[in-house]
Structure formats: structure tokens, C-alpha cells
Amino acid sequence: MLNNNFDGSIVTDFAPHGSLCEWCGKPAVQQLTAIGGPKHNGSGFFCPLCGEEFARAVAESLRDGAVSEANTIKPVSR
């Protein structure tokens, strides 16, 4: 599912039935929670594509040492 090759981790769980992706509004399949770093405990419900983007954003924030709230992470333009 997610390739978390960075200094930290993301906890993955199933999204409750009927949940929508927080970024695109499509049906959510997973709940992701960042553990450690500036995005610690940032979480949300995501479709597979946005979930991958969330994981990349968390990885970049850890790599770059960015300090911002998890809800300020925005998906990469497609």
C-alpha cells in the first residue's frame, strides 16, 4: 500500500463506511495518521491517490524540517 521510506511512520487504518476523502471528496478507503515529526498526529480519511500524496507530504516535511500544522498540507497539483 504505502511505501514509508522516511524518518517516521504513518499508521494506516480502514476508513469508516461512507467516509469521503478530505482532499478530493471521493470515497475514502483509509485513515492515515502521521507519527512523529512536525505532522505528528495529523490524520484524515483518504482515497488511495490522495493517501499517497499525504504520505509524500509527511515525508517531505520530515526531510525538510518544515514546521506547519497537518491540516495545512495540500495535495500536489495533478
Which pLDDT does position 66 carry in this prediction?
Answer: 46
pLDDT in tens, 11-32: 899 999 999 999 999 999 999 9
Question: What per-residue string of b and e applies to 3-17 under the rule 16 or more CB within 10 Å gives b?
Answer: eeebebebeeeebee
User: How confident is the model over 35-51, as a mean pLDDT?
Assistant: 79
What's the chain's average pLDDT? 76
Q: Which residue has the higher pLDDT, 63 or 39?
A: 63
Domain ranges within the chain, ordered by starting residue: 1-12+25-65
pTM score, whole prediction: 0.63
Q: Which residue has the higher pLDDT, 51 or 70?
A: 51
